[in-house]
Amino acid sequence: MQLNCEICHSLLKAADRQQEICKDCSEIERTEFQKLKRYLIKKPKATILDIKADTTISMDLVQRWKRQKRI
Ligand SMILES: [Zn+2]
């Protein structure tokens, strides 16, 4: 079980441990994921490197979504 937020590494509240990230980061994650989805609609074949070059989305988040197979 995750005790610290995967993104900002702050200590997680018991209720947030399932999510592996804290409330603040999950807000940010939601916004950033929308941003990435819009980007991938325009550039469906984009690689991680393209995402890094073309957007401001944090690579920590991108790696996390990859691991979760959301992208
Ligand atoms: Zn956090």
| Span 31-54, pLDDT tens digits | 999 999 999 999 999 999 999 999
What is the Cα–Cα distance from 68 to 21, expressed in whole angstroms?
13
- CA of 20 relative to ligand 1 center, distance in Å: 9
pLDDT on residue 2: 79
CB–CB of 36/62 below 8 Å?
yes
What mean pLDDT is reported for the chain? 94
What is the Cα–Cα distance from 58 to 65, expressed in whole angstroms?
11
What is the C-alpha radius of gyration for the chain, rounded to an integer number of angstroms? Answer: 13
Domain range summary for the chain, segments of one domain joined by +: 25-67
pLDDT on residue 19: 85
Residue 29 has pLDDT above 90, yes or no: yes
- CA of 10 relative to ligand 1 center, distance in Å: 6
